[in-house]
């Protein structure tokens, strides 16, 4: 018998919310965790005072298990070390770390030594096996996913292959899950829980710009494209976004098209920036990076995070359930 994702993370429903940089602030993460699932705040490039301010809001908003997401390849090893140190120093033990892509061995060791749960998102079988061998909850990302893509396989194919290779691992399926029925398919393929990104972008507590939320609600799977054009700030990794005038004509000049504020600091947004449009962004929102998975087809309205958790809870394994190996 295997534990459910809920059991491993100390939550009630085997549902994880993706820690999306810019979009998933402490407000969304706490709302998800307070509803019984695992919320996660996007750490992205925050470090020092900016990261401390975010962590303070996160830890004052919930006493339940909640995560902080970091992206090793975006910040590099030194800054990642600093971010990890801050999370470990400034948050209580029920706060877990969530990483997009495998970190180096030293990071695995440090998080394990601190007694914190680690969640690692992967896109290939080999990476999944490595993360599982280091005791992480493995988020298995399929090509259906919104945002940056770690592999090339479809979600359930990858889940099934990994389940065979690491039968005892805690596997969480991600990519293209917009409805409880789709979550059910991922569980049938061998997942112990699911992670949702796009569905949570459209929630009331998300910090996504209103135009971005409405575009997701209106979109169908065919309105998304895999591209590499939004590369300023995060080069060299393909991403699934809503098709825009920039994805269809990437030859345009890389001039500034807007401005934004991140944790109190103002920034200009160039065309091709990897930054998502948030409620603090102004300018040509329709040209910015609106990461979006095939899951958008099932998204409607602007539900609260708690409504999303309740909707998916009916198909997801709770704490106390055991999964037949």
Residues that bind ligand FMN (CB under 6 A): 18-21, 23, 42, 44, 69, 71, 100, 121, 141, 144-147, 174-177, 196-198, 201, 276, 291-293, 295
- DSSP codes, 121-139: EESSHHHHHHHHHTT-EEE
Residue 162 beta carbon to ligand FMN: minimum distance, rounded to whole angstroms: 15
Collapsed DSSP state (helix, strand, coil) of residue 227: strand
Q: What is the DSSP letter of 317?
A: -
Looking at the Cβ atoms of 291 and 312, the one nearer to ligand FMN is 291
Nearest 5 degrees, angle CA 220-CA 162-CA 68? 65
First to last CA, the chain: 5
Residue 37 beta carbon to ligand FMN: minimum distance, rounded to whole angstroms: 14
Check the CA dihedral 214-215-218-221 and report its sign. negative
Looking at the Cβ atoms of 169 and 292, the one nearer to ligand FMN is 292
Looking at the Cβ atoms of 59 and 98, the one nearer to ligand FMN is 98
Residue of 106, 134, 129 whose CA lies nearest to 118: 134
Residue 170 beta carbon to ligand FMN: minimum distance, rounded to whole angstroms: 16
Looking at the Cβ atoms of 234 and 253, the one nearer to ligand FMN is 234
H helices within 91-176, ranges in order?
A: 105-113, 125-133, 155-165
Listed in sequence order, the residues at least 6 apart from 283 whose beta carbon sits closer than 8 Å to its beta carbon are 256, 257, 258, 259, 269
Residue 103 beta carbon to ligand FMN: minimum distance, rounded to whole angstroms: 12
Looking at the Cβ atoms of 261 and 324, the one nearer to ligand FMN is 261
Looking at the Cβ atoms of 35 and 219, the one nearer to ligand FMN is 219
Phi and psi for 60 in degrees, rounded to 5?
A: -85, -10
Residue 178 beta carbon to ligand FMN: minimum distance, rounded to whole angstroms: 7
Residue nearest ligand FMN, CB atom distance: 197
Residue 16 beta carbon to ligand FMN: minimum distance, rounded to whole angstroms: 9
């Amino acid at each position: 018998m295997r534990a459910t994702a809920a059991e491993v993370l100390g939550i009630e429903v085997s549902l994880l919310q993706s820690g999306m940089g810019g979009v998933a602030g402490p407000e969304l993460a706490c709302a998800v965790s307070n509803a019984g699932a695992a919320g996660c705040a996007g750490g992205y490039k925050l470090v020092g005072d900016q990261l401390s301010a975010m962590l303070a809001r996160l830890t004052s908003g919930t006493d339940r298990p909640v995560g902080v997401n970091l992206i090793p390849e975006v910040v590099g090893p030194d800054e990642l070390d600093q971010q990890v140190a801050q999370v470990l120093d400034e948050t209580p033990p029920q706060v877990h770390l969530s990483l997009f892509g495998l970190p180096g061995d030293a990071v695995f060791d440090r998080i394990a030594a601190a007694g914190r749960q680690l969640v690692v998102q992967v896109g290939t079988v080999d990476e999944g096996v490595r993360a599982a061998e280091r005791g992480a909850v493995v988020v298995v990302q399929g090509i259906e996913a919104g945002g940056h893509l770690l592999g090339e396989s479809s979600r359930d194919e990858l889940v099934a292959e990994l389940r065979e290779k690491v039968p005892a691992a805690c596997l969480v399926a991600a990519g293209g899950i917009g409805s409880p029925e789709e979550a059910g398919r991922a569980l049938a393929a061998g997942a112990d829980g699911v992670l949702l990104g796009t569905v949570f972008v459209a929630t009331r507590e998300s910090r996504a710009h209103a135009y971005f939320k409405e575009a997701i609600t209106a979109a169908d799977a065919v309105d998304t494209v895999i591209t590499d054009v939004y590369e300023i700030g995060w080069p060299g990794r393909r991403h699934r976004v809503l098709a825009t005038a920039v994805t269809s004509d990437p030859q345009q000049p890389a001039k500034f098209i807007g401005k934004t504020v991140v944790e109190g600091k103002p920034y200009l947004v160039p065309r091709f920036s990897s930054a998502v449009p948030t409620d603090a962004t102004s300018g040509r929102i329709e040209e910015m990076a609106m990461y979006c998975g095939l899951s958008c087809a099932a998204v409607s309205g602007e539900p609260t995070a708690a409504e999303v958790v309740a909707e998916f809870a009916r198909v997801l394994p709770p704490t106390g359930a055991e999964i037949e190996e």
